[in-house]
Structure 1
Amino acid sequence: MSERTVSEPTLDPADWSALRAVFHQAVDDGIAHLQGALDAPVWVPPPEEAKALLHEPMPQGATPVAEVYEQFKTQVLPYGVGNVRPAFYGWVHGAGNAEGVLGDLMAAFMNCNVGGRAHMANELERTVVDWCKELTGLPPEASGLLTSGTSMATVIAMTVARTRHADGDVGREGVAVACKGMVGYTSSEAHSCLSKAFDMIGLGRNALRLVPVNADREMDCDALEAMIAADRAAGLKPFMVAATVGTVNTGATDDIARVAGIAKSEGLWFHVDAAFGIGALFSPAHRERAGAMREADSIGFDFHKWFQVPYDAGIALIRDGRAHYATFSGRKEYLASSERGLAAGEPWFCDYGPELSRTFRALKVWFTLKSHGFEGIAAIVNKNIAQAAHLAEKVEAQPKLEILSPTRLNIVCFRHLGAPGMDDKALNALNKDIVADLQEAGIAAPSTTTLNGRTAIRVCLVNHRTRTSDLDTLLAAVLDIGQRRTSTASAA
């Protein structure tokens, strides 16, 4: 074994056996962290003293890795966001899985740049992309790129859509010349990543028209058609429409088939945001409606939500692989490829997105899907959907609680009705306090949202560890906290 010399510094350890011991301890602690997830508080607020200890001067000298790890173990590990716990219902955070952690660990050991060249990480990403094309129904010639999440996938898809429909060369002339009057459409319930994408690709947020929703909080397709007609009459250029499978607010799914038909008849790019709603493809009750995404020009979704892959991992799928390549390709001479050697391996992934340096995300996705199979993921999806129905039924049976939106897919929105005579302002404050109390007590971590001016306790079920009994505990705690808070307010 070669030894490190003073004249030729390296970052390899002087004592590999000591480093190995730290790694073994870290793996044991990490597995214990996951194994104990069922019994731990869902969230522990980071202590101020622990936060203060992290804010230290920039390190100049070396610290033994055992000491660095101990600081992490005591000051960081116990204070995560809580999504590994079964009672985490806030936002749309998957719980991860142990096999995916193993993939992430080995990807870090390999330290591959999956921007291009001839190595196995690229082949494995192509495999994952092919699986996703098969899942969504896109054709074999479609292209795909793993991303940090649906937000970046949306930027990539909207960039391709803009370039495809521009009147000129956007890359050379810019949007002011090539994209005059271009406008797009999505539901008022759509994720904010769409408006951010319009900002980032130079069209501006005002160019994204927000279509009203119906009583089920789905895109009003009649309104969509009217808005397209009005914009054409005003001399503007409609170029895309985005539908959602599983909105973040309520889990609603737009009428994907009808939106696809409108897009086709109007000559628009059709995008589907299926960030977590991709799981609907595994549900007998939701598969047909969601399955119309096979008509999409582009699809974005996340693996780190319902697929339970550790953060972060998403994907952009583009039906027209040639348009995708044409939008982002173009390398300098120092990145030229060759027919043989390490510089082979065409096409390179850097030609399908803005990043040349790309991490080996596909490995944790591959580990997860190989270890559990799509059947395993489907079982979790259907369990969570059944749990949402169970929770909604329990809420509707409680006179002190009120459902605020139809329960679609895996999200339940409800509120505590407080004491007689409380107005909406007081009820909004009460329900915000109930959610904060639940979080700070470590009982559960739902989130809040606002529906028609009313604050909802929002429970989103994408966690493979959640048990139905956890939801019963949540409801009991909501009722108890609500009763105590209204009693205290009345006494005051």
Structure 2
Amino acid sequence: MTGDQPGPQHTETPPRAASPLEPEDWEEFRALGKQIIDDVVDHFAGIRERPVWQPVPDEVRSALGSGLPTGARPMTAVYEEFRSLILPYPRGNTHPRFWGWVNGSGLPVAAYADLLASAMNATLGAGENAAMLVEEQVVTWLQQAFDWPETGSGLLTSGCSMGQIIALAAARQSRAAEWNIRHAGAREAPQLTVYGSTETHHSFEKAVELLGIGRAFFRTIPVDPDFRIDVPALRRAIHKDRAEGLRPVCLVGNVGTVNTGAVDPLDDLADIAREEDLWLHLDGAFGAFAYLLPERRPLLAALNRADSLVFDLHKWFYLPFDVSCVLVREPGALEDTFSSHADYISRTPDGPASNPVAFADRGIEQSRRFRALKVWFALRTHGLDGFARSIAGNIDQVAHLTRLVDASPRLETVSRSPLNIACFRYVRPGARLDELNALNQEILSRLQLRGLAVPSHTLIDGKFVIRVANTNHRTVRSDMDFLVDQVVSLGDGLLKDGMLDDGEGEGH
């Protein structure tokens, strides 16, 4: 790997095995690299022919639990261990029929970019180098994609869990600045309160705990029948807390809840935040990407009225783990919250310490890997329109699934969303709730254990449901046909085998 600029010219051949940690034979290393690339391409090209998921056998568990290696081994032998012990037993999210939880499917071009990023081994805390400029460019591109204010800023993170902490810390600094909590701590400040619906992701509970606000002061507001935050109940909670001498600082809105894909009424939340002087934070982990589609934009039109927004590029932007983004509206809000100073990281007028942007001053991490390169490669290669087409395709595939479920007398749609999540279950007239829950859990287990498909599950109103969250660029409509056929076939087979009694029950 070479750059375009000439460097110092050296004609001496480096000594063989200049370090015990370098390859002894560079040509052997080159050959292994070529084999690895060939195997990676074969892996991507043949994904559909393999099981979605399979259990890790006991002998593999034993091998992966062996003791610390102390002596050297040939790297070709280590690679063969990887091929036999690790590669055959993935989480499964690269497979076209993986729709569990909310996991991205992994773009091939981004896998190459991750290899190049590791070879460069840049750390993006601060400094004057191309990697820093790439992250600046990528953050700017993402601001443009979401019509975010040009005066705002952001940074890439490991995931929305980190983004929630960063955004809430910025909210605390901005809306409770008079108590200078960074310096004096929270002892002299009033008790802060934060608001979000009962459907808010559990990572926000971690954020309020870690920042000293406390889980008891994260007000979980009930939801309406469509699983969106109850706006009148939210207003009442804010006013009650103010009357009791508490200090509301932040309101959390969901742009696609994990359970059902519900989108909170964003315009209403933005209005309340302005009226009450609250920081509006939006969790758009996957749902924010629907903003890229003109036909879905009305649902998310107020997204850029927020004070902060988080979204995972390793979810509905299909990139390999991990890469996420947090954007903030207020200029300097992140630096006000996180900047720190030490002589050994101070800037110089020129040279490698001269870059004016320091991402370490926008978040918690000083050591930050070159996550931006895979985003840069993917956008340069496929363009924003390519991603939008895949996202639209995922929504269409889930709509097709719900039509199939609605048309089947043996299936029931339990929840649907305008985005990419649907929850359904196998039903039998007269069966009790606990019986149907056990039946659907067994159907799901057989789907997963046989490597046929991997949706996940959740509970909605006490019902165990099969949950499809489609953030998979490899999925096609026929995969949904396959899923429905398998669920019906498995359910019918379990009934034939006598899993449910014939007695009268409470119905479903």
TM-score range, shorter chain: over 0.9
Number of residue-to-residue matches in the alignment: 488
Q: 1:402 to 1:337 in 2, by over 3 A?
A: same
Unaligned regions of 5+ residues in structure 2, if any? 1-12, 502-508
After alignment, is 131-140 or 394-403 more displaced? 131-140
Choose from 173, 181, 184 the match for 1:170: 181
Instruction: Give the C-alpha shift of residue 174 in structure 1.
Output: 1.5
Residues 136 and 291, structure 1, Cα contact 8 Å, conserved in 2: no
Q: Report if the CA contact (8 A) 1:181-1:237 is conserved.
A: yes
Q: Is the 8 A contact 1:3 1:14 kept in 2?
A: no
Aligned positions of 1:233-252 closer than 5 A: 233-252=243-262
Residue 466 (structure 1) aligned to one of 464, 471, 475 = 475
| Correspondence for 1:76 | 86
Instruction: Summarize the alignment of residues 184-199 of structure 1 with structure 2, pairs less than 5 Å apart.
Output: 184-199=194-209
Instruction: Look up the match of 2:369.
Output: 359
- Which of 104, 114, 132 aligns to 1:94? It is 104
For the pair 1:368 / 2:378, whether they are aligned, the reply is: yes
Q: Is the 8 A contact 1:4 1:10 kept in 2?
A: no
5+ long unaligned stretches in structure 1: none
Deviates more, 1:357-366 or 1:28-37: 28-37
User: Residues 452-473 of structure 1, C-alpha deviation per residue, up to 9 Å, x if partnerless?
Assistant: 1111110111101101111101
Give the alignment partner of residue 235 of structure 2, picking from 209, 225, 230.
Answer: 225
Deviations 1:36-56 (A, max 9, x none): 112211112111111110111
Match of 1:2 among 2, 8, 14: 14
Distance in 2 (alpha carbons) for counterparts of 1:64 and 1:173: 55
The answer to whether the 8 Å contact 2:306/2:329 transfers is yes
- Deviation larger for 324-333 or 166-175: 166-175
Q: How does 1:227-306 map to 2 (within 5 A)?
A: 227-306=237-316
Q: How does 1:406-417 map to 2 (within 5 A)?
A: 406-417=416-427
Q: Note the C-alpha offset of 1:329.
A: 0.5
Asked whether 1:487 is paired with 2:467, we answer: no
Choose which of 19, 23, 29 in structure 2 pairs with 1:19: 29
Distance in 2 of aligned mates of 1:490 and 1:432: 12
Task: Give the distance between the partners of 1:276 and 1:253, measured in 2 at CA.
Answer: 11
Aligned to 2:59: 49
Q: Which moves more between the two structures, 284-293 or 262-271? A: 284-293
Root-mean-square deviation (Å): 1.3
Match of 1:152 in 2: 162
Once the two structures are TM-superposed, the CA of residue 24 in structure 1 deviates from its matched residue by 1.1
- Name the SS for the 2:14 alignment partner: coil
Q: Between 438-447 and 53-62, report the one with greater CA deviation.
A: 53-62
Q: Note the C-alpha offset of 1:4.
A: 4.3
Does residue 453 (structure 1) correspond to residue 484 (structure 2)? The answer is no
Between the two proteins, what is the percent identity of the paired residues? 41
Q: What is the CA–CA distance in structure 1 between the aligned matches of 2:487 and 2:385, rounded to whole Å?
A: 34
User: 1:491 deviation in Å?
Assistant: 8.1
Give the alignment's TM-score, normalised by structure 2: 0.94
Aligned pair 1:435/2:431, yes or no? no
Q: CA deviation at 1:65?
A: 0.8
Q: How does 1:376-415 map to 2 (within 5 A)?
A: 376-415=386-425
* Pairing 1:349–2:345 present: no
Q: CA deviation at 1:9?
A: 3.7
Cα distance in structure 2, aligned partners of 1:352 and 1:361: 16
Instruction: Give the distance between the partners of 2:415 and 2:319, measured in 1 at CA.
Output: 29
Shift of 1:137: 2.0
Shift of 1:306: 1.2
Mapped pair 1:317 → 2:327: yes
Deviation at 1:133, TM superposition (A): 1.1
8 Å contact from structure 2 (residues 173, 336) kept in 1: no
Q: CA deviation at 1:175?
A: 2.3
